[in-house]
Amino acid sequence: MDKVKELAKMIDHSILQPTFTDNDLKKQCEIAQKWDVASVCIKPYAVKQAAALLRGSDVKVGCVIGFPHGNSSTAVKVYEAGQACLEGAVEIDMVINIGKALGGDWEYVENEIRAVTDTCHRNNAIVKVIFETDYVNATEDKIRLCEICTRAGADFVKTSTGYGFVKLPDGNYNYRGATIEDIRLMRKHSGPGVQVKCAGGVRTLDDLLRMKEAGATRSGATATEAMLKEAEMRFGRGGEREKGR
């Protein structure tokens, strides 16, 4: 596999902006298919449409659950995950209950992750568990979550939604998203069967390469095309695209 293809298959192309229309979904799925990325990561109502748009391609359909703040009840998250699978999703990115984690109710957090994971696996889908590290930022809490996800059988641990906005000293809101330190920490404390996904703030090819080196095997991205065009310029491209695909 050439370098550009390898990097493309790291990317979950994010189509989560609240203002995106059905036409935007179509355009973004075309970008995902053009570059043959790993998956699209979409809103629940769009699963059927995305599955139809991507039918016949190698791009998988992923869906967010409890997005973006994780506040749905466990029963709702389980239902939402099951419904997404029935409509064509094969990858599920679920947000933990952030308040329960910050409050130290680890039994609740673990039971919820296990319930969603079991539902996904019964439907032949993988699950990625979003910690939202802009909010759950204590090292010991992130380590605990890695251990919980390992016990629960989750397929991935994931840093962020990209929507974990916090109020800054100047009164504006922004987020940090994935950091190299978090990726290294999550890789170190997750079991060997659990992969690591970075998300939030991965906007350049160098960002993606640094996350890969730190241990991430998937990355959420909205700047997919720009990153992969830069990768073509830097590394060249063999195969079909080099022949004028």
Phi, psi at 40, each rounded to 5°:
-105, 150
Specify whether the CB–CB gap between 197 and 12 falls below 8 A.
Answer: yes
Please identify which of the residues 128, 158, 182, 207 carries the catalytic annotation. 158
12, 60, 77, 93: the catalytic one is 93
In the chain, beta strands by DSSP E = 11-15, 39-42, 60-65, 91-95, 126-130, 156-158, 166-167, 173-174, 195-198, 218-221
Among 7, 13, 3, 65, smallest CA distance to 39 is for 13
Q: Considering the candidates 100, 128, 142, 197, report the single residue annotated as catalytic.
A: 197
* CA–CA gap between residue 4 and residue 93 (Å, rounded): 25
**For this structure, is 158 an active site residue?**
yes
Is 212 one of the annotated active-site residues of the chain?
no
End-to-end CA distance of the chain: 17
48 annotated active-site: no
* Residues noted as catalytic: 93, 158, 197
